[in-house]
Structure 1
Amino acid sequence: MSAYSRLLIAGFTLLGLLGCKEPSHDTAIKKQGFVYCGQDTPTTLNPQLTDGGLTAETLSAQIFDRLLLLDPISHKPLPDLAKSWTISDDGLVYTFKLRDNVPFQHTTWFTPTRPMNADDVVFSFERIIDPDHPFHNISGGRYPWFESLGFADIIESITAKDDHTVQFALKRPDNSFLSNLATSYAVIYSKQYGEQLLKSGRVDLIDSKPIGTGPFYVEQFIPNDLIRLKRNNDYWQGAAPMEQVVFDISARGMGNLAKLLSTECDVLSSPVASQLPVISNNDNYKLLAQTGMNVSFLALNTERSPLNKLEVREAINYAINRKTLLNSVYYGTATEAKSLLPPMSWAYNHDSKALSYNPAKAKQLLDAAGYDYKQVLTMWVPLEPRPYNPSPRKTAELIQANLKAVGVNVALHHQETIGRVGLTDTTKYDMVLAGWIADNGDPDNFLRPLLSCNAKKAGLNVANWCDLSFDNLLEIALRTNKQDQRQAYYQQAQDIIDQQVPVIPLAHGVHFQAHNKSLGGLQMDPFGTRSFSSVYRIE
């Protein structure tokens, strides 16, 4: 039976979900905005505090602006709040000229008295890097994405030269610096709002009722239920057509596909592969696809026996049949991963010597390592579908069966979501099924947050792997201006990953998004950070 035939069978089976549907959502929302479904339940609305998920990948672009944006095709930085910038000859000083008269959001709890200026930029980044900043320790004081890059270690100073000029001085050259400022994590907050919260003693509200300059502001946040955004009528690029956007983050009632088909949701992010025929064969819906800068992978805890032995890690790699995963989980919509970097990356190593499927070789390596076949390894598995892995449970079960075939017993531990922060206790797991969506087009954005020594300290490197040779290559690449030399360094770094096997790349997925045909203006990009400021209702 073909993959597409299985897709159709799975898809038509899902239609049975619609036999008992809940009432459609409030007609007022239908007229004035739209409902978005299909991503995780956030614990914070501040993307600086996260390492991905709904807050960073979708909410950030609605609530906040950044100094820079990324061109979805070239991946080059573009102006946003910064209208221009210059770089000193030694690559150590970046000077940004800010736009005039960009207003912050006006809400029932905050009325700005001035537009965005350089002080707000300094406030937003010093919160991250300065332990003595009054807001640094709010909400836990961890900034995992920035910590994984060693961001605080490269900043010498951030200075407001005047209201419309801000200067970043670096301790060493960093060719990824502009790209990092264009990510959804590098958002600009209102310093004036922070000062108001300090006076009122409610500093915690800065992350649950944030103020930015984006096209929408937060009106309501009910954890595990919904997030309601309202239109910022003073948005500097013009008010959005939609008056509100509601994010359905509840797990109650029907599944997300059923919510889409019953019109309870207007947009479904990341439908799983088996749902695609139901959507594409229904004239009421449009299905968008974007080749993503992403990767799914299996992280091996290199600090825990027996995975601290290279032979065992190699054996697990040889035992996994990626082609079966592509056929049974992705239904042919993904490409096999031989590296953490996707093939569209300019630094991708086309000569990768990553290990391929060979169960006989796996068994041979296990025997040579003196593997104890009676032991049971643990694998932590998220249940939430993501663009890089539409069905983590099924992926884990297939890997479990592959490993069982060579004598490796694995117990699966399912969780609704698994954030990489907090997994640094090496006594809790042997393997983690994980993935990554790039925040920008620089190869450093894949390799450093996932496998650097800084990422290990930050709790993002769940392989608990630290290799100084690997880190040195990343550092040299950042300081080299010539792209062909940078490419050579990144390919050497990929060779080290191939040799040491701290992670096993599985697949590069396609990001799908479905929406009701009555919506127009929805767009996608490789980084999943598109604003809803241009979305409108056709009917």
Structure 2
Amino acid sequence: MNKVFALLTFYSAVLVSMPAFSASNLVYCSEGSPESFNPQITLSGTARNATAPTLYNRLLDFEPGTTKLVPSLAKRWEISPDNRSYTFELRDDVSFHSTAYFTPSRKMNADDVLFSFNRQLDKEHPYHMVGGGTYQYFQGMGMDKLITKVEKLGDHRVRIELSQPEAPFLSNLAMPFMSILSSEYSEQLQRENRKADIDMLPVGTGPFKFRRYQKGTSIRYKANEAYWQGQPAIGNLVFSITPDPSVRYMKLKKGECDLVVYPSPSDIAQIKSQSGMVLAEEDGLNIGYLAMNTEKPPFDNVQVRRAIAHALNKQAYINAVYLGNAELAINPYPPSMWSHNDEVAQYEYNPEKARKLLQKAGYSDGFKVTLWTLPVSRPYNPNGRKMGEMMQQDLAKIGVEVELVSYDWGTYLDKVKRGEHDMVQLGWAGDNGDPDNFLYTLFSCDSVQRGSNNSRYCQPEFESLIKRARRESDLATREQLYREALRVFSEDVPVIPIAHSKVFRALSSRVEGYVMDPFDVDNFFPLSVSSNRQQ
């Protein structure tokens, strides 16, 4: 048996089972299993919700429900006049989790910050290669090139040196991949030759402590009674892993779940009318798209990519898959974000124009291709299979024969990262309110090798524009650079933006304190549950 899962089984056996339902318990119906319990090495929203708001904190955070930066593990910070040096003063009252497998002997300090940053930054770090040495956010956002030094100035004082000014740097520090892990725990695991356990038996400073994980079934957490912001009202938090959105809704009706992620569009009307239920909704900071692998023929030909864009009836997908709860996408991020540009090349549904473009590209007889359909329900695509079938029918009209393929979520992401796909459905939810989080993370040359650029797109003019925008401090100049980058992007069409969807949560009226988050994160710390359970 794998050592990690052997340990998980052991800890499951020794921990006391949680009572079925009480006022201090909250059951969260999630959509899938996380790839890991360390947000440094994960990319999916599934893993983010299972780790960042539950187990960990960061130097900075976003005020719940907003894009406003607030202090977290760092009480305050100073920025040098040249914007290349950031000095942080850390809190001195923060404890790491005490669990069945680790008991801390000290409070969080600068050593933990250095460990958490340098694991991702330093290729010679003893933990860098644990899990394969790929840090998709950190590397895909260019943090490995940006950060030149992380220096301890005292037990609770840290300085970070940058190679150049970086406008979104502070916002990036509030993202899940910059969570602070325990250096002391890492030393224990290294002594015991169990370094890989740091990613599956987590220790953080967050409001909940990890108890146990049963893959594909559940994750159990316990309130961190020593949490530096105060003990959570929820004593036990359970993630009930339920991939089918209709099943999640039925569990909510039966009182088996208190909070449901991504309800099916077909259930929205019923949820609104049900007594004892509340529907929370917000315009999502997201994009659902179809990526074409530009490293593979025929998608290395821009005429083919434009043909595919003209062949897809995006409005039909919004009507049938999202049931109208989405907005037609033009750019790879929504109109609510600054620098959005609707004066770019747009590809109306036009099969005749698509066929002519294929002829021009030398594919008069069409071609065969695989299209990978999303295996889980995500807000940016609630039903990948149905959308895939509609895309398959649309592409058949222009002579493109499509085979639909899918895998379990973890395998799907891993294969896409390796570039094994032809066309693939994916999407993105913004993490920090900055266009850089979409354009650099998803479409830069750096992000091709790091695994977050699903189109494998690397274009010199586009690359120059988004890099200049990162270094620019003047907002108006940054906006103009991004608008120009979007023009180039739309002409090259490496991905076809499909929709910006509304984001929904369904919850029991027993749940109090819930606030929708612009980054599609569920914050459990502010929640409480009343004692009257709806039947």
TM-score (norm 2): 0.92
Question: Residue 403 of structure 1 contacts residue 409 of structure 1 at CA under 8 Å; is this kept in 2?
Answer: yes
Which residues of structure 1 form unaligned runs of 5+?
A: 1-24
Q: Does 1:391 align with 2:383?
A: yes
In the alignment, the residues of structure 2 paired with residue 507 and residue 243 of structure 1 have an alpha-carbon distance, to the nearest angstrom, of: 38
Query: Residues 240-282 of structure 1: CA distance to partner in whole angstroms, max 9, x if unpaired?
Result: 0111111112569982222222222221101111111221111
Equivalent position of 1:423 in the other structure = 416
Q: Does 1:498 align with 2:490?
A: yes
More displaced, 251-260 or 505-514?
A: 251-260
Equivalent position of 2:503 in the other structure = 511
Question: Residue 58 of structure 1 contacts residue 530 of structure 1 at CA under 8 Å; is this kept in 2?
Answer: no
- How many Å apart are 1:74 and its aligned residue? 5.9
Q: Secondary structure at the match of 2:391?
A: helix
- How many Å apart are 1:423 and its aligned residue? 2.4
- How many Å apart are 1:374 and its aligned residue? 5.3
* 1:40-51 → structure 2 map (5 Å cutoff): 40-51=32-43
More displaced, 226-235 or 279-288?
A: 279-288
User: Quick one: which amino acid aligns to residue 494 of structure 1?
Assistant: L
Distance 1:236 1:507, change over 3 A: same
* 1:353-392 → structure 2 map (5 Å cutoff): 353-373=345-365, 375-392=367-384
Q: Does 1:449 align with 2:461?
A: no
Q: Does 1:101 align with 2:97?
A: no
Q: Secondary structure at the match of 1:230?
A: strand
In the alignment, the residues of structure 1 paired with residue 18 and residue 525 of structure 2 have an alpha-carbon distance, to the nearest angstrom, of: 22
Q: Does 1:196 align with 2:188?
A: yes
In the alignment, the residues of structure 1 paired with residue 530 and residue 215 of structure 2 have an alpha-carbon distance, to the nearest angstrom, of: 31
Q: Does 1:478 align with 2:470?
A: yes
- How many Å apart are 1:138 and its aligned residue? 1.3
- How many Å apart are 1:429 and its aligned residue? 2.6
* 1:74-113 → structure 2 map (5 Å cutoff): 75-113=67-105
Question: Residue 342 of structure 2: which of 344, 350, 355 is its match?
Answer: 350
User: Quick one: which amino acid aligns to residue 248 of structure 1?
Assistant: S
Question: Residue 339 of structure 1 contacts residue 354 of structure 1 at CA under 8 Å; is this kept in 2?
Answer: no
Q: Does 1:469 align with 2:461?
A: yes
Distance 1:419 1:51, change over 3 A: farther
Equivalent position of 2:396 in the other structure = 404
More displaced, 106-115 or 253-262?
A: 253-262
* 1:86-485 → structure 2 map (5 Å cutoff): 86-249=78-241, 255-373=247-365, 375-417=367-409, 419-423=412-416, 425-426=418-419, 428-485=420-477
Question: Residue 420 of structure 1 contacts residue 461 of structure 1 at CA under 8 Å; is this kept in 2?
Answer: no
Query: Residues 188-231 of structure 1: CA distance to partner in whole angstroms, max 9, x if unpaired?
Result: 01111111111222222211111111000101112222110000
Question: Residue 60 of structure 1: which of 52, 55, 72 is its match?
Answer: 52
In the alignment, the residues of structure 2 paired with residue 371 and residue 223 of structure 1 have an alpha-carbon distance, to the nearest angstrom, of: 45
Which residues of structure 2 form unaligned runs of 5+?
A: 1-16
Q: Does 1:535 align with 2:513?
A: no
Question: Residue 279 of structure 1 contacts residue 286 of structure 1 at CA under 8 Å; is this kept in 2?
Answer: yes
User: Quick one: which amino acid aligns to residue 422 of structure 1?
Assistant: K
- How many Å apart are 1:26 and its aligned residue? 7.3
Question: Residue 92 of structure 1 contacts residue 170 of structure 1 at CA under 8 Å; is this kept in 2?
Answer: yes
Query: Residues 353-410 of structure 1: CA distance to partner in whole angstroms, max 9, x if unpaired?
Result: 2222222211211122221535311101112110111111111111111111222221
Equivalent position of 1:4 in the other structure = none
In the alignment, the residues of structure 1 paired with residue 465 and residue 509 of structure 2 have an alpha-carbon distance, to the nearest angstrom, of: 48
Identity of matched residues, %: 38
Question: Residue 243 of structure 2 contacts residue 376 of structure 2 at CA under 8 Å; is this kept in 1?
Answer: no
- How many Å apart are 1:487 and its aligned residue? 0.5
- How many Å apart are 1:530 and its aligned residue? 3.9
Distance 1:193 1:455, change over 3 A: same
- How many Å apart are 1:514 and its aligned residue? 0.7
In the alignment, the residues of structure 1 paired with residue 244 and residue 446 of structure 2 have an alpha-carbon distance, to the nearest angstrom, of: 39
Superposition CA RMSD, Å: 1.9
- How many Å apart are 1:71 and its aligned residue? 4.1
In the alignment, the residues of structure 2 paired with residue 390 and residue 295 of structure 1 have an alpha-carbon distance, to the nearest angstrom, of: 12
